[in-house]
Each structure stands twice: as C-alpha cells, then as structure tokens.
A and B are shown apart, each in its own frame.
Chain A
C-alpha cells in the first residue's frame, strides 16, 4: 500500500521533466532502486500506469535497475556484495572481518528518461 505515495512522487518528477523538456511522449523511465527496498516492481508499474492515464507520461515503461547491497570491510577496506536473503553469517571474503560500512543498496533515484 505504501507504493502509491512513492509512485506519486515518481510520477511528479517525470511530469516535471517532461514539461521542461517539451516532451511529446515518454517511452521509458530508468530507475535505480536499492535491493534493500521493499517495493515490488510489478506494483510500481501498476500504480504508475494508473496515475499516468491521460497524461504525457502514459505508456511509459519503468525500467528498474536493482542496486545490490554492497558493504566495505572496516578492517581491510574490501568492498563486496551481500546477499540480503542469505542466512549465513556475513564475513569479509578477503580477511574474514565482521565489521562493515555501508556503500550502496538503499537507492531511490530517477536516473533518466527515454523520450520523443
């Protein structure tokens, strides 16, 4: 249910950029969404289609790139990807360290739009 307000602001951003660039039609919207987000791709598109009906944004396809969770080992500075659904203990593949800093995985960005 929380997808709707998120998609509303996504829609607003698309309309704003379409208007300021004199766009006739948006073909696709390229999004970067972190893997840690709970948003479901299918629902983002459905809500988007609902809001977009009758606007310049209608028919745009959302291309969602999932950005993996990456952390950096505090001991040896190695950056590596973490499988967020894996039950096993996470340790640095290089030095077996267990303390990390966040690098990526929480993104929510409109990267670009393909338009005519």
Chain B
C-alpha cells in the first residue's frame, strides 16, 4: 500500500484569470483608457444608466461601450443610437464576462481612441461577481423595487463593487426599502464602498454619479 503524502499547493484558484485581467489593465493604462464594469440584476437600470452617462459625459470623454448579453442585441442598438462606439458580445449562454472575453471586445472598439469604456455585464448578481474583467473599477446597481435584502443574498457582489448605485430612488414611496440597512450591510461586506442614489427616470442623483466617474477617470491618469 502506498503511503499518502501531503503536497502543499497554496495557489489561488482564480490566479490565472486574474493575471489576464491584470495584463488587460496594463494595456488600458498604456492607452490612458479608463474601464468601468457595470453589474446588476436584469431590469435594474444598467442600460438606462449607461445612456444617462453617455448624455452627460460625451462632450468631455470619448466613450465606448461593451454590451454583454446572453442572446439579444436590444441594448447595443439603444446605445449605438447615441452615436458612441459599441460592441456587442453575445455570451452564448454564459452568465458572465471574464477578462479574456472583454479583451476581444475591446479590440473591436479600439481602446486607444477612447477615454472611457463601460462594460454592461450580463444581468445577474451572482456570476459576474466572481470574475475580474480587467476593469479599473466595478460598479453595481441595486434598484429600489428589488428589495433591501440583497446584500444578505448576494454578499460577494457587494464585496467586489467599488460603488453601489441605488437606482429608481423615485419609487421609494411605493416600496418598503430600508436604505440605511442596505448601506450598513454593504459597508460590513465592503468597508470602502461608495454609495450613491439615482433615478435614471427623473435624473435625480445623476450628477453625483457622473462626478464620481469623472474623478475616477482623472485619478487613473
């Protein structure tokens, strides 16, 4: 009978994909392009926030959008109508994007000609949180109708996001949503998280969002 040996491994499971992401960040640094990864559930307002952002910042920055969708091209058509560069990645059933997929998407919109790239990730609070896309910052949206229990259900998403956007704030009167409870929970999971309130419908809070984004773009240079 062979003796059982113990081999020390001590290796991060996602180390390889993180290395691809780090390389992508280096590439973006060399072209002075800032990349934001935007994540949320389906229907929380990712595309609406992308459109608001384009309208507010297209005079200041050259913007490109990477749209990820399992099958459709609905979002990219809306974005293209705003006259910015957009590439549609159809993930073919995949529930998330990783840095390798993003890297391919970037080639199509020539990042060297862009100041800001926004990735609209697949709508889902689970899978996209696990993978580093190579973006400089991660943003997540939680919309008021989704409920205030989401940090309890999807802790990883809150722990990897640099900024949490509480969207559809105009519907606060209709839903029982405890903003303070969400803020406190999010900060336990992620002490440094920045929290903003917006309504893409009324425009409330959009300035706060674009101010945050503008500061981050300038800081990355």
| A residues whose Cβ falls under 8 Å from a Cβ of B | 1-2, 5-6, 9-10, 12-13, 17, 21, 23-24, 27, 31, 36-39, 69, 71, 74, 82, 84-87, 89-90, 98-102, 105-106, 108-116
Determine whether the beta carbon of B13 is less than 8 Å from that of A10. Answer: yes
Partner of B7, one of A12, A74, A98, A113: A113
Give the complex CA separation of A99 and B184 in angstroms. Answer: 9
Instruction: Determine if B81 is an interface residue (Cβ-Cβ < 8 Å).
Output: no
Which chain A residues lie closer than 8 Å to B127 at the CB level? 1-2
What 4 new A-B contacts, CB under 8 Å, besides A10-B13, A84-B155?
A: A6-B13, A9-B17, A31-B13, A36-B155
Which chain A residues lie closer than 8 Å to B11 at the CB level? 13, 17, 109-110
| B residues whose Cβ falls under 8 Å from a Cβ of A | 2-17, 93-96, 98, 126-127, 129-131, 149, 152, 154-156, 159, 181, 184-185, 187-191
Contact of A110 with B9 at beta-carbon distance under 8 Å, contacts A36-B189, A90-B188 already known: yes
- The majority secondary structure among interface residues of chain B is mixed
Determine whether the beta carbon of A82 is less than 8 Å from that of B8. Answer: no
Determine whether the beta carbon of B156 is less than 8 Å from that of A106. Answer: yes
Determine whether the beta carbon of A100 is less than 8 Å from that of B187. Answer: yes
Which chain B residues lie closer than 8 Å to A9 at the CB level? 13-17
Give the complex CA separation of A111 and B2 in angstroms. Answer: 22
Chain B residue nearest to A37 (CB atoms) is: B156
Partner of B6, one of A39, A99, A114: A114
- Pairs across A and B, CB under 8 Å, 8 listed: A13-B11, A36-B156, A84-B152, A89-B181, A99-B191, A100-B187, A102-B190, A116-B3
Which chain A residues lie closer than 8 Å to B94 at the CB level? 1
Chain A residue nearest to B151 (CB atoms) is: A84
